[in-house]
């Protein structure tokens, strides 16, 4: 029996906009690559058929928060709103306030 164990976490992650996912990866300073239906982010998060897998749940959570932030930014911009963010995508607290410009 081996004295080590490799755990892999898999969670549902449906990122519908690849461009926003690239921006999210960039904001976390992680490389983005696509090979067929498989997306690799930072060499540590793999997304295929809407399922993200990694050795660290925290990495997937950070990517989800960064993607959500990019989605909110894009939606606000399309409606003519500007925003200010507090917190960071690497923490559990991220808040935004928006106003019409």
CA distance to 55, 90, 95, per residue, from 31 (Å): 17, 17, 25
pTM, whole model, 2 decimals? 0.78
Q: Report whether pLDDT(29) > 90.
A: yes
Burial class (CB in 10 A: 0-12, 13-18, 19+), 93: exposed
| pLDDT score recorded for residue 53 | 92
Average model confidence (pLDDT) for the chain? 83
Residue with more model confidence, 80 or 39 = 39
Reported as a pLDDT band with limits 50, 70 and 90, residue 78 is confident
Cite the DSSP H helix spans in 1-101: 18-27, 57-78
pLDDT tens sequence across 60-73: 999 998 998 898 88
| pLDDT score recorded for residue 19 | 95
């Amino acid at each position: 029996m081996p004295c080590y164990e490799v755990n892999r976490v898999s969670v549902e992650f449906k990122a519908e906009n690849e461009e926003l996912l690239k921006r999210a990866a960039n904001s976390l300073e992680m490389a983005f690559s696509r090979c067929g239906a498989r997306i690799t982010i930072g060499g540590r998060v793999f997304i295929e058929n809407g399922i993200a897998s990694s050795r660290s749940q925290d990495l997937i959570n950070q990517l989800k928060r960064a993607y959500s932030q990019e989605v909110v930014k894009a939606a606000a911009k399309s409606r003519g709103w500007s925003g200010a963010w507090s917190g960071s995508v690497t923490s559990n607290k991220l808040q935004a306030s928006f106003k019409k410009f």
